[in-house]
């Protein structure tokens, strides 16, 4: 199978859907003339023209609102945020608009829109450019939340998100855009709402998503050298959460470690912990462990970045605790 970069997988997903459906369009900062801040939309302006690949001012609240209105009136917008840190300015349109318009209109208006872009830490970018907002978005009824870790999942899930009738939050990572991965040339879709077991194991379950999957998979490799067999699950979709796959794994391994870049208080890891203890408490042979980002703002210094984030060593330590 051919290998392409993460950014190319995203571009293929958007381009294929735009060729299939003239109501799909891309809008965001630098997506057109500059070919995208991370070159995700490279070449799309030349193919689809300025009416379907639209550069916007630096005004997230404004162009997110335009996207919501367009979705209510029969189109399928893809709104790209240069980073989800900037999207905080657009939360009113996402949370009070896109997420609520279906019930507020008694079903008269839907909002088939995708809000996508990178989020989380991406090196030494400081406190306001390094935030993982997954738990904030996942707490909102009416939104579907997807967070991908590799090119194959990125393409298949983005195509499904564009076709979905509900608003979809689609999280990427600046640190993964150059990652290579196998992606079929033929069309495929990955259903929203299904985890993926990336590695089978028998002794402990490691659950993660987005770029922290690299940490989880590397930890599993290192644990294997010490005789510990780790099963690794990629959430892929945060909401709706496929808790059944996680519970079935815990019933087999009897231990669970969740690797989550979110701040620990009200994190994705907290929700998974609650649900597993509710539905599979009798199968646990040890307390559930969370390996989260630090409960503070990200700092610029590289040693503090390292201390802040989940690491292979932290995951291994958690997996071996009794």
Question: Which residue is it, tokens 């390996």?
Answer: 291
Give pLDDT, residue 171.
98
What digits encode the pLDDT tens for the residues 257-296? 999 999 999 999 999 999 999 999 999 999 999 999 999 9
Interacting residues of 198 by C-beta distance below 8 A, sequence separation 6+:
213, 217, 232, 233, 234
Give pLDDT, residue 291.
98
Give pLDDT, residue 123.
87
Taking 50 as the pLDDT cut, the residues of the chain under it are none
Interacting residues of 57 by C-beta distance below 8 A, sequence separation 6+:
29, 63
Q: Model-level pTM greater than 0.85?
A: yes
Burial track 14-39 (b if 16+ CB lie within 10 A, e otherwise):
bbbbbeeeebbbbbbbbbbeebbbbe
Cα–Cα distance, 161 to 170 (Å, whole number) = 8
Cα–Cα distance, 230 to 233 (Å, whole number) = 10
Give pLDDT, residue 86.
93
Give pLDDT, residue 322.
81
The full set of domains in the chain, from first to last, is 3-182 (3.40.50.970), 196-320 (3.40.50.920)
The answer to whether the beta carbons of residues 117 and 285 sit under 8 Å apart is no
Can you spell out the DSSP letters for 38-102? TSTTTTHHHHH-TTTEEE--S-HHHHHHHHHHHHHTT-EEEEEPS-HHHHGGGHIIIIIIITTHH
Q: Which residues are known to be catalytic? A: 60, 129
CA 244 → CA 136, 255, 269, distances in Å? 23, 15, 15
């Amino acid at each position: 199978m051919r290998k392409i970069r993460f950014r190319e997988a995203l571009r293929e997903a958007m381009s294929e859907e735009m060729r299939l459906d003239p109501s799909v369009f891309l809008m965001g900062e630098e997506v057109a003339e500059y070919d995208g801040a991370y070159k995700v939309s490279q070449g799309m302006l030349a193919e689809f023209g300025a009416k379907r690949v639209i550069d916007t001012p630096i005004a997230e609240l404004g162009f997110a609102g335009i996207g919501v209105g367009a979705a209510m009136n029969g189109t399928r917008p893809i709104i790209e945020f240069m980073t989800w840190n900037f999207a905080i300015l657009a939360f009113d349109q996402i949370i009070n608009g896109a997420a609520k318009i279906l019930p507020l209109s008694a079903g008269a208006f839907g909002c088939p829109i995708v809000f996508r872009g990178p989020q989380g830490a991406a090196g030494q970018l400081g406190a306001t450019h390094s935030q993982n907002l997954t738990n904030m978005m996942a707490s909102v009824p009416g939104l579907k939340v997807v967070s991908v870790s590799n090119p194959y999942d990125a393409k298949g899930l983005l195509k499904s998100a564009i076709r979905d009738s509900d608003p979809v939050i689609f999280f990427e990572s600046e640190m993964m855009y150059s990652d290579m991965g196998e992606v079929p040339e033929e069309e495929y879709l990955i259903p929203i709402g299904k985890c993926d077991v990336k590695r089978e194991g028998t002794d402990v379950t490691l659950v993660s998503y987005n770029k922290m999957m690299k940490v989880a998979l590397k930890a599993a490799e290192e644990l294997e050298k010490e005789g510990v067999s780790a099963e690794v699950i990629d959430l892929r979709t945060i909401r709706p959460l496929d808790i059944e796959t996680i519970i079935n794994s815990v019933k087999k391994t009897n231990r669970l470690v969740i690797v989550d870049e979110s701040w620990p208080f009200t994190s994705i890891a907290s929700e998974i912990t609650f649900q597993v203890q509710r539905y599979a408490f009798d199968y646990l042979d040890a307390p559930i462990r969370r390996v989260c980002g630090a409960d503070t703002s990200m700092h610029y210094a590289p040693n503090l970045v390292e201390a802040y984030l989940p690491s292979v060593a932290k995951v291994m330590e958690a997996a071996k605790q009794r």
